[in-house]
Structure 1
Amino acid sequence: MSETTTPGTPDVHDILGIGFGPANLALAIALEERDSPLTARFLEARPSPEWQPGMLLDGSDIQNHPSRDLVTLRNPRSRYSFLNYLHEQGRLLRHLNLPSEFPLRKEYAGYIRWAAGFFSHLVDCDQRADRVRITEVAGESLYEVTTVSGRRYLGRTLVMGPGRTPYVPAPYDTVRSRRVFHLTQYLPRLTELTGGTGEGREPESVAVIGGSQSAVELALDLSRRFPRTRVTTYTRSHSLRLKDTSPFSEEGYFPEFTDYYFRASREGKRALDAYMHPTNYSSADGDVLRELYLTMYEQELDGDQRVFVRGNHEAVRVAETGDGRIALDFLERHTGETITDTVDFAVLATGFRNMGPGPDEELCPPLMASLADRFATEPDGRLEVDADYALRPVADGTPPLFLNGLCESSHGIGDAGSFSLLSLRAATLADALAGRLASAPGRTAPTRTDRAAALAAA
């Protein structure tokens, strides 16, 4: 049932966006570049828009072509491209001279901050969405979002782009210790636990859990920061695997594949997922694998090995010890052997939850759980998503709701949180929003003069 708002109703925005990471930032740019008359307001939980602040490791790169950025596939002439960012920072020629295939993650994070700065008038930072409901104002059904601080926002449409939920598998999810944490918290937690540099607080041993690109990067980063620390990577697979970077497989990040995947049956999607999995998950690029292997070999040669990889190991118990360290009990998956490792902390490079009914998935984004029964679902319980990223309402009076960057289970690997198809998805969303709002009741489109005045006032 819809609810009616109380006195002191806030302004109504055509588009209310949750999150202002790259996904909704790309949407804001697309709306501006099409000179959209739609009004928008985005809510960002962090003090400022940031991209992967917990994983800006020295030497790490973004793993995709820099022109798969916020805009270029949609509009190669955009001022918001990565190339123009380098030009405006005076680093274009220096960057083009780098002996590297992909940009540094730190530099791409700077690009995101730079682009987001042009849209500060549309964003309220430090506003973490806490509750979403549908309310009625002057006979119009609207979304109302209440933040942790108590502020209320109203929108004719809702675009959810909060990023995917970190996946913390069992038994790590049973431990309430700050010494067991997901990779998204890596840098701040490292500073908290060690000071971040290894000077005076070097840990005796640490564990990295997982077999992904991030797991390898974390192992390398820890070995550099703490040269006397024992760093062990534990993975359920036989060992660390090379990522599939075949140009044929990489066509999974083309819009044509997205269209094909969307039309496939659920059984077909599972088969396509299995094929595309090594292009993005449980695998790593050759450069970091070579560096890690050489590090381990040289340490073994010196008779002083401190970096290890343990394959076929699955944690069966995790507990905090009396001295505040972490005890990890592992089962060797094929021999049945059990071992215990006691570490100062464990970093979980275990990925993120996708939408679905599986044990490592979620049926819908947690923030919209109270609204989930207003939308159609597939037979297995997951939300049914249209080609334009809109959910299909089944209850009367349900305003349009779109998912931005959360739809890998319906749109395939190109929606897996990477930049690959970000700008094209933003174009699809911008078109869909314009279509849904063209005849929205109670809406009066602002003129170009109104928009210019609002921007000047901001």
Structure 2
Amino acid sequence: MYDVICVGFGPANIAVAIAFEELWPNARVKFLEKAPGPFWQRTMLLDGSDIQNNPVRDLVTPRNPRSRYTFINYLHEQGRLFKHLNLPSHFPLRKEYARYIQWVAENVSVDVDYDQEVTGIALVDSPDSAEGVGVERSVEVTTAAGEIYRGRSIVVAPGRTPHIPPVFARTASPRVFHTSRYLPGIADLDAGYTGTLAVVGASQSAVEVVLDLVGRFPAARIVNVMTGYGYRLKDTSPFSEEVYFPEFVDYYYHASEEGKQRLRTQLRPTNYSAADADVIDALYLRMYEDELDGRPRVSLRTNRLITGAEAGAEGVTLDLTEHITGEREQVTVDRAILATGYLDLGITGRTEQLPPLLSDLAEALGVTADRPLSVGYDYGVVPDPELQGVPPIFVNGLCESTHGLGDAGSFSLLALRSKAIVESLHERLAKTGDDAADLVGAVPQPGFGI
């Protein structure tokens, strides 16, 4: 019986692992990861791409800048600190940050089982209370390999579910794939490929993929389909960027639903349907030079609604309608790459009611057709009030709808979120557990302690 079972071992739960080591080292914690190792964004480690995030907002620094696991110390131990500080770049390369994350995962004191894909999570009666379990029921986790794990609580961090627009949902074809499968989806194409590829979307990922395709397949033709008139600059004003401050979590969480919607509408350009100036400028210059050379390789289908998508032996046919003129056209491509973002928790718009891993617990968690998952300030799920003995269940990195843009796949608040989760787990489990010691150098506080 573990104190905590953590599903997923990406950046969100790696930050939790550091917090356990530094705050509650005697907790009995098991991490389960479906991948064979601690990999991050393997399908989007593109040449020249960066993390779009201040590197000091890493897995631990905002919580404990003296930790061994800071990005700065990683660079120091790798002998690259001064060279990195000399880079003519605002943000670190995505490839280097992926190596930092792997380095932390390999060095933090953690009990992790790789190649364990979780297929079921259930609530079961706890063993005899004489064992000091402290909760009436426990969590039972089953994996595809047939392993069964039991814990007094669980932290779920599976990553967000890719958003597949309805027009593509019925297109079950390897020719159509989300950017979360980008590199595997083009792995069979050689450098001399001369076909046509479509990129759907106008986000940072969309621009990065278009640039990568142009460099990777010089003879190919790229069609970028988007609903807007063109690419928009991401709002990187330092005033807007304060949405990634811990204080904003408190402000957003306690806002009304109407207030939250207003904030989402106002602040969307800080993270969505927009791209950084460096990649937009690079693509515009690339397209201009191609036109100058008489070999236009990238074409933009702006202001287009995709009304149909059909995959066949010859490729993927897209039906497009221009929003302003109503003009219709068909485009047939070899692959359609969906840079269409990810789902949030909710019941309207691009959402899902709860993480798929928790679907078997929908009733216990009070999730219905008109009620999404309810998450507390400390990232703990609020269960159905009529049910007793539901063990602590936390969701890590999935709570943008309740906690704001700091939970939108950003590194900004990982370290502080892990602190909130570990402190709350300690407070809940240690109240009746005989074997739980005080947190190291910390007094349990709700939320971020701000």
Please report the TM-score for the alignment, with normalisation by the length of structure 2: 0.93
Cα distance in 1, alignment partners of residues 320 and 350 from structure 2: 20
The equivalent residue for 2:350 is: 360
- 1:447 to partner: Cα distance: 12
- 1:380 to partner: Cα distance: 4.6
Cα distance in 2, alignment partners of residues 115 and 365 from structure 1: 26
The equivalent residue for 2:65 is: 76
Within 5 Å, give how 1:399-418 maps onto structure 2: 399-418=391-410
**Structure 2: which amino acid aligns with 1:332?**
E
Cα distance in 2, alignment partners of residues 166 and 37 from structure 1: 36
> Are positions 1:302 and 2:293 aligned together?
yes
Within 5 Å, give how 1:39-438 maps onto structure 2: 39-119=28-108, 121-139=110-128, 140-191=136-187, 193-195=188-190, 198-199=191-192, 202-323=193-314, 325-376=315-366, 380-394=370-384, 395-438=387-430
8 Å CA contact 2:2–2:151 kept in 1: the answer is: yes
Listed as ranges, the gaps of 5+ residues in structure 1 are 1-11, 449-458
Across the two proteins, how many residue pairs are aligned to each other? 430
Cα distance in 1, alignment partners of residues 322 and 213 from structure 2: 24
Cα distance in 2, alignment partners of residues 117 and 436 from structure 1: 29
Residue in structure 2 matching 1:23, options 2, 9, 12: 12
- 1:237 to partner: Cα distance: 1.4
> The residue matched to 1:409 in structure 2 has which SS?
helix
**Structure 2: which amino acid aligns with 1:95?**
H
Cα distance in 2, alignment partners of residues 215 and 399 from structure 1: 41
The equivalent residue for 2:445 is: none
8 Å CA contact 2:343–2:350 kept in 1: the answer is: yes
The equivalent residue for 1:7 is: none
Q: Which moved more, 1:421-430 or 1:329-338?
A: 329-338
Cα distance in 1, alignment partners of residues 34 and 186 from structure 2: 22
% identical equivalent positions: 51
8 Å CA contact 2:163–2:342 kept in 1: the answer is: yes
- 1:119 to partner: Cα distance: 3.8
Cα distance in 2, alignment partners of residues 335 and 149 from structure 1: 55
- 1:372 to partner: Cα distance: 1.8
User: Any idea what the Cα deviations from partners look like across 1:320-342, whole Å, max 9, x if unmatched?
Assistant: 2333x111111112221111111
- 1:37 to partner: Cα distance: 2.3
Please report the TM-score for the alignment, with normalisation by the length of structure 1: 0.91
8 Å CA contact 2:57–2:412 kept in 1: the answer is: yes
Cα distance in 2, alignment partners of residues 203 and 405 from structure 1: 40
Cα distance in 2, alignment partners of residues 423 and 259 from structure 1: 16
8 Å CA contact 1:205–1:344 kept in 2: the answer is: yes
Alpha carbons of structure 1 residues 99 and 447: separation in structure 2 relative to 1, 3 Å: closer
User: Any idea what the Cα deviations from partners look like across 1:5-53, whole Å, max 9, x if unmatched?
Assistant: xxxxxxx110101100000000110111114321100110100011111
**Structure 1: which amino acid aligns with 2:340?**
T
> The residue matched to 2:219 in structure 1 has which SS?
coil
**Structure 2: which amino acid aligns with 1:73?**
P
Cα distance in 1, alignment partners of residues 407 and 248 from structure 2: 11
Pairwise CA RMSD: 1.7
Q: Which moved more, 1:253-262 or 1:311-320?
A: 311-320
Cα distance in 1, alignment partners of residues 53 and 197 from structure 2: 29
Listed as ranges, the gaps of 5+ residues in structure 2 are 129-135, 440-450
User: Where in structure 1 do 4 or more consecutive aligned residues deviate above 6 Å?
Assistant: none
